Chain A
Amino acid sequence: MEPAEGPADRDAERDGAGAASEPFCAWCGRARVEGDHAPCDRRLATVDPPRHCPVCARRMVVQVDPMGWTARCSRHGESTGAGGFGHP
């Protein structure tokens, strides 16, 4: 999927919580206003870190370690979390 153009740069550090209010789904990368993202949210709440930037939908470089994850968008910086994306 070709990522849509996002808004202007934001602060690098972002909290994983509250992603549902962002324009793009952090799991599938599609616009949140299109389609049903409940299955995506379930995956984010249980077994998956975010893979797409919720601001611009770019694929992020994600590293998972035993106690947390780090996701870096080339445009919007880094976000971190411990467990499921929906449950910081």
Chain B
Amino acid sequence: MTAVETGASTEDTQGEDVLAVAREQVLERGEGLTQEQVLAVLSLPTERLGEALALAHEVRMRWCGPEVEVEGIVSLKTGGCPEDCHFCSQSGLFDSPVRAAWLDKDRLVEAAKQTAKTGATEFCIVAAVRGPDAKLMEQVRAGIAAIRAEVDINVACSLGMLTQEQVDELAAMGVHRYNHNLETARSHFPEVVTTHSWEERWETLQMVRAAGMEVCCGGIVGMGETLEQRAEFAVQLAELEPDEVPLNFLIPNPGTPFAHLEVPQGADALMTVAAFRLALPRTVLRFAGGRELTLGDLGAEQGMLGGVNAIIVGNYLTNLGRPAEQDLDMLEELKMPIKALNDTL
């Protein structure tokens, strides 16, 4: 959708071009765009996409550097989730073809080994749950111990909403980073999830930060949100000040309430990448699920040259990604070094 179609202005309140303002405000001073300014970027005509991406890339290079953080993720517990996140094929409330399954410890360790071989510094253990129960916490504890014994990699977790006690337990296990996505703007969240609130997610993230773990929090683009809500989401993430923002693009999965939605358009997705970088100049901005359908190979490169400085390599939780080698070759061609493990501690 362009500015003409939305009726939104591509100028800021002073009547200046938003990219000219961003060059001074974000690139020179390191101050993220406001909600109104993010909306102005999202509303730029497609002809200005290249310009927006180029500026976002400059901002990333200036405030984050050339390194790219590589991560692998794995689903420890798949399917059977009691929540109703409308994008998710793992909800037990929908007629999805995804069946419940647990990954055993040997395969978990093997997945961590394979991830480390790509040069990745982060390995995230994910479970489809509202929040962890005692059984899951014990499996996570045993899994992390087994990984630490054999693999030199940071371990992250994504286990849903946590109690303070669970936060403390995970911190004591040495979990480096905790992922819990807000998924979308606060105003749009009730259209996406009804079994828990945006505020409950926010509370978990605050506890995670207070316990000393890094905060990973992002969302999914293309879930029926307006451009205004997308801008709202960007500044809400900026307010959270996460260490990392994973940016997903909707994969309409069969059986879910969002199965009928269209795959986001490539230009729209790339303008969102640029806008989020300009809202979050110092944050690790990670390409996550859906980029294969939305952007293809060429779009992935454009994103890496448009503000993104981290990727998930290999497959996702229930969906497949590009072969890891393909992404590693892309980084080499782009002359973007992979961030080393000793730079992340």
Please list the residues of chain A having a beta carbon within 8 angstroms of any beta carbon in chain B.
Answer: 28-29, 46-49, 51-52, 59-69, 82-84
Contacts and interface: CB of A to CB of B under 8 A. Distances in A.
Contacts of A48: 319-320
Interface in B87-115: 97-101, 103, 107, 110-111, 114-115
Contacts, number: 75
Nearest to B107: A65
A46 B324 contact: no
B99 A64 contact: no
A52 to B, nearest CB: 7
A62 B99 contact: yes
Interface in B64-84: 72-75, 78
A84 B78 CA distance: 19
Contact of A64 (B97, B290, B315): B315
A46 B114 contact: no
Interface of B: 72-75, 78, 97-101, 103, 107, 110-111, 114-115, 251, 254, 290, 292-293, 313-324
A80 to B, nearest CB: 12
Contacts of B99: 59-62
Contact of B78 (A52, A59, A63, A68): A63
B323 A64 contact: no
Given A64-B74, A64-B319, 18 more contacts: A49-B320, A60-B99, A61-B99, A62-B78, A62-B99, A62-B101, A62-B318, A63-B75, A64-B315, A65-B74, A65-B107, A65-B315, A66-B72, A66-B115, A66-B313, A66-B324, A67-B314, A83-B320
